[in-house]
Amino acid sequence: MDWQYEREWRVVGELSFEPHDVTFLFIPEAMHEAARGFFTTNVTGPRFHCPLIDTGWSRDRVREALSDID
């Protein structure tokens, strides 16, 4: 199993953001459908409406997924 997407970024001090600040999420492609369903119906947490990117994708595929971002 590929755990590459679970790498951590550590920030010293406070870090806060709102769901609308998120530009994209790294999620394995096999989980994209479930993640979209969760973020669409989630009533207790954030609703992310952004592209989902798989870390194993080619650069061109990532660019394509990000091409609709304003």
How many other C-beta atoms can be found within 10 angstroms of the C-beta atom of residue 51? 17
What pLDDT sits at residue 54?
95
The whole-angstrom separation of Cα 65 and Cα 67 is: 6
* Per-residue pLDDT tens digits for 9-58: 778 888 888 888 999 999 999 999 999 999 888 888 888 889 999 999 99
pLDDT of 43 reads 82
Q: What is the pLDDT of residue 24?
A: 94
SS (H, E, C) 25-69: EECCHHHHHHHHHHHHHCCCCCCCCCCEECCCCCHHHHHHHHCCC
Coil vs helix vs strand at 7: coil
